[in-house]
Amino acid sequence: MAAVLRRSCGVLRSISHFEWRSQHTEAAHQREPGLGFSFGGLGLGTFDACLITEELAYGCTGFQTAVEANSLGQMPVIIAGNDQQQKKYLRRMTEEPMMCAYCVTEPGAGSDVAGIKTKAERKGDEYVINGQKMWITNGGKANWYFLLARSDPDPKAPASKAFTGFIVEADSPGVQIGKKELNMGQRCSDTRGIVFEDVKVPKENVLIGEGAGFKIAMGAFDRTRPTVAAGAVGLAQRALDEATKHALERKTFGKLLVEHQGISFLLAEMAMKVELARLSYQRAAWEVDAGRRNTFYASIAKAFAGDTANQLASDAVQIFGGYGFNSEYPVEKLMRDAKIYQIYEGTAQIQRLIIAREHIGKYKS
C-alpha cells in the first residue's frame, strides 16, 4: 500500500506541471469562473479529476468509487442548482468531511431510468415523496441525496417532462436506510437500498423546476462517465503492472514467463488496451472542459475502459495461474472489482445504444 501511495503522490505532484491539463483548466474557468473556488474547492476541471481518479483506483477501486460517487451526487447541483442551492449544498461538502449520493436507481429501474416508480406529489409549498431506491453508493454515509422522482402522475407522460430532481436531506423524517449490501467486489464502497415514506421536501429544493429532472440526471452522466472510465483504467493499469512483475519473477519450463512469446504478446495486448482506454477518457474529459457536449465520447470512454478493465483483470489472473485464483494475491480482487465498471452509471450495453444513436444521428442531421 505504501508503494501505491508513493506512486499516487508522485503523479499528483506532477499535475501542476502538466501543460495540457493547465490549458483545460483555464478553459473550464473561463466558462464557469470561480465555481470551484467559491465553494471551497480547488477549481480543477474534469480532466484533472480523471487523473486523480485513475490514481485512486490504482490503489483501491472501492475507495475510488466512494469518492467518485460524491462527484455524481453533486453534479446535478453543479450543473442545475441555483446560487442558493449551490452555496448550501456544495460548500458544506468542502467545509467538513461529508458525502452525498445520486439516488436514482430502483429495484425495477436501473439503466431504464424512465421506469422509475418513486413519486413526488406537490402539496402547497412542499413535495411528498414515496418510493424505494436501490444500489445507492454512499447510501448510508450521505449527508444529502440527489433524488429523481416521477412528478407527473400520467403514465404516458414523456420522460423529458415526467420527472423532477430534488435535493433531499438524509436525516429527513421518513428516510429509511437499508443494510449495507455485500457485493462481489469494491466492498469498502457503501451500497444500500433507501426507502422514502412520506418524505417532505420544500419546493426550494427542486432543481430548475418541475419536469426537468430527467435532463438533469442524464446531463450529470456526461460529466461523470469520464471519471468512471478513469477509475477503470486505474484498475487496468494495476492489473498490467501486477501481471508484468509476476511474469518477470515466475519461471516455467526453465525460463521466465516473459520469455514465452505467448505471455509477452499478451502483455503487449494489455499495454495497448490500457493506453487506448486512457486516451478515450482523456478525450471525453477534454470535451467537457472545453464546454462541448460530450455524450458520444463519454459513452465510448465508459464502455471501452470498463471492458478493458475486465479483460485485463482476467488476463492478469491467467498469467498468475493458480496463484491468481487465490485471495492471498492481488489479482483476484481486481477481477472482482472490475465487473461493476460494466454495470454502474449505465451498463456496457446502454453505452453502445448511446454510441450508436449519437453516431447515426450525425449522418441523419
Q: Provide the annotated active-site residues.
A: 345
Residues 6 or more apart from 221 whose CB is under 8 A from it?
Answer: 298, 345, 346
Is 359 in a helix, a strand, or coil? Answer: helix
Which grid cell is 193?
437500498
* β-sheet bridge partners, residue 346: none
SS3 330: coil
- For residue 237, give the C-alpha cell: 493499469
* Alpha-carbon gap, residue 91 to 313, rounded angstroms: 38
Q: Considering only CA atoms, which of 139, 254, 119 is closest in space to residue 197?
A: 119
Amino acid residing at 63? F
Q: Say how many residues make up the chain.
A: 365
Q: Which of 242, 265, 244, 220 is nearest to 103 (CA)?
A: 220
d(CA 15, CA 43): 14
C-alpha torsion angle, residues 204, 207, 213, 215 (rounded to 10): 160
What is the helix (H) or strand (E) element at residue 335, kind and residue range? helix 331-338
CA gap 246, 244 in Å, rounded:
5
Those residues whose C-beta lies under 8 Å from the C-beta of residue 5, and which sit 6 or more positions away, are 59
